[in-house]
Amino acid sequence: MKRTRLLIVLAVATLWMGGVVWRLWSVQVHDHESYLRRAMRQQQQVLELDPPRGTIYDRRGRELAVSVAVESAFAVPREVGEPDAAAAAIARLTGADTARLQRLLASDREFVWVARKLDPPQARALRAAALPGIYFLEESKRYYPMREVAAAVLGYVGTDHHGLAGLEAEWERAVAGVPGRRTVLRDARQTTLASLDLEISEPQPGEDLVLTLDAVLQHIAEEELARIVEERRAQNGSIVLLDPRSGAVLAMASWPGFDPNHFAASSPESWRNRVVMDAYEPGSTFKMVTAAAALDGGLVSPDDLFDCEMGGITLAKTRISDHKPFGLLTFRDVIAKSSNVGTIKTALRVPNGPFYETVRAFGFGRTTGIDLPGESAGLLLPVERWGPTTKAYVSFGQGISVTPLQLATAFAAVANGGRLLRPYVVAEIGHEGARRRLHPEPVVVREPVASRTVATLRSLLTEVVVSGTGKRAAIPGYTVAGKTGTAQKAVPGIGYLSHEFIASFVGFAPVEQPVLVAAVAIDDPKGGYHGGEVAAPVFRRVVERALLYLGVPPRREPLERWPGEPVPVPATPEPVRIADREVAPEPPVADAPPAGPALPDLVGTTAREAIAGVARLGLRPVLVGSGVVERQEPPAGAPLPPRGSPVQLYLGTGVS
């Protein structure tokens, strides 16, 4: 019996020892790799460390966006003695959310971030608090030393170190760099340590960007934009400056602005780069394109006469009004005084197809291809969908939407002699000492019109500033060309707002050798809304300051003729166009009867003589028919009517 019990004990002991040996073999040999991996997961934490993003410079090497080394705080929740008290202390020192910190510190996780990329004063204060279970690692943080300057262009970076807007988002892959990796070891007492024996890979910095923007020009544009928006209590505004010789963007300003260092403190509306994202109806600035289409087709010349019908025209039973009544105007004055009726009559001379193709050739209805995100293509209906009045409305900038950048590039094509260039913002990319130029030569997209057309357009646009609606854009010492625009705001699904307008001006200077193109758009200004009174003065202030900064000297003598414009020579008179009719040229007109108390007798005179005579009296001639005057109303001898009154001249062919 005793022997049996002993054998049982020995058998049990043998089995127990065998089980222990088997288990030890299983753990140490058979399942070694599995348990090793589990131990490493429990004892090691792999942290990904953000690399320094590439620096963004302006064209003169000024830093616009840099990466700085900062500290981030993390916690090992098991080591935090009192989670609620620790959370309250961290929140007080860093501004973090207390409830979120309480949840993190009370969790059973091995590692939690509690405050990322702290400002130096915050990091020092949190270190001084010496909270149990709180540790620090060095990370990289994006910083914008000029704060609001070019913020909408640069964009901003989130706490995850990814670009969220602007250049930071568009060039993320190049600028972001390669993250580093650091393995953190935890010992048996749950203490977190760093070991040189564990995996460490250093972060690799991203590539730098050198921009075409000039921080000084950017500041000038933003300062003047903020000034006019505040003075006029406008909703928003935008300004863009281009170099017409290359397509380089020298300044791109949007209002309202924001500080990208604290972008979350501003509304998303202020983050918009309005120069490329906001499309609006351009109004009369678009008359440049209409003029280009007619001139390029040889369908109009600057001295052609148009009857602007004293303020309105009826097409397809639709009455389209002018911004003020005009009578007879030369085409030069149609553009200078910005007559809608004269522009419509000009557009009606151009077939729909060629007109549409000219609009497209200037870059409207498609993106410019600029190296920025979120660009709008604007709106241009296909010509197949045009109704009987579409061309009339498009001719003076209604029923079409454009961006400020599109307008600026179109006017730059006029300024540089006829080349539509692709605009760009990034000039160079790479690490210091190994940067590559992205645009060694301007990218010519197309040539919208012939060089002779460009020369005439320059002359017409200069007249806008000399004697037309753009007088307030004139800069002493410089020749300026441009076009004003005043457009009713259009809201999809609602229509045109009767009391809200967009005032704009687009132009370039100096005309003889343009170095700057500027587009200004002000949304819903108060106390005056016309482009000539709101936007043109902003253009003048910005461009004048910019020209002086760029070292472009003012002229002392007036320019005798515009570059590319042919020297005038005597020529055989061509037929005079009045609206859509032609009147044969006549010899020089004799002086009309002097103004007096009664109307002179104009019967038997040619159309040209009658027009000159009536105009000298300060009256408005209205022609009916063609040939010579057969009848007039009021009749000859009638009392002289008030200045500007119409005189009906009925023409016929009975008298040669």
Amino acid 492: pLDDT: 75
**Among all residues, which ones are annotated catalytic?**
284
> DSSP for 600-640?
---TT-BHHHHHHHHHHTT-EEEEESSSEEEEEESPTTSBP
Both 388 and 459 in one domain: the answer is yes
Contacts of 553 (CB under 8 A, 6+ apart): none
Amino acid 212: pLDDT: 97
Assess if residue 571 is contained within a domain.
Answer: no
Both 366 and 440 in one domain: the answer is yes
Both 230 and 199 in one domain: the answer is no
Residue span of the structural domain in which 608 resides? 581-652
Both 193 and 253 in one domain: the answer is no
Strands across the sheet with 646-652, in order? Answer: 620-624, 646-652, 628-633
- Parallel, antiparallel, or unpaired for β 249-255 and 56-57? unpaired
Assess if residue 8 is contained within a domain.
Answer: no
Of 55, 93, 427, 333, nearest to 207 by C-alpha is 55
Rounded to whole angstroms, the Cα distance separating 536 from 527 reads 15
Residue matched to tokens 């020995």: 10
Both 254 and 149 in one domain: the answer is no
Q: What is the pTM of this model?
A: 0.76
416, 407 Cβ separation under 8 angstroms? no
Both 197 and 233 in one domain: the answer is no
- Determine phi and psi for 180, rounding to 5 degrees: -95, 165
**Which pair of tokens denotes residue 368?**
């410019």
Distances (CA, A) of 437 to 207, 212, 246, 251, 424: 13, 11, 13, 19, 12
Both 285 and 150 in one domain: the answer is no
Which residue, 183, 211, 239, sits at the end of a domain? 211
Using omega within 30 degrees of 0 as the cis cutoff, is the peptide bond preceding 510 cis? yes
Both 52 and 201 in one domain: the answer is yes
166, 187 Cβ separation under 8 angstroms? no
Both 84 and 119 in one domain: the answer is yes
**Residue ranges of the chain with pLDDT lower than 50?**
187-196, 558-596, 654-656
Amino acid 205: pLDDT: 87
Separate counts of helices (H) and strands (E) for the chain: 19, 27
Both 144 and 236 in one domain: the answer is no
How many domains does the chain contain in total? 3
Assess if residue 173 is contained within a domain.
Answer: yes
Assess if residue 38 is contained within a domain.
Answer: no
3-state secondary structure of 371: coil
Q: Which CATH number do you get for residue 161?
A: 3.90.1310.10
Amino acid 546: pLDDT: 97
Q: Which CATH number do you get for residue 229?
A: 3.40.710.10
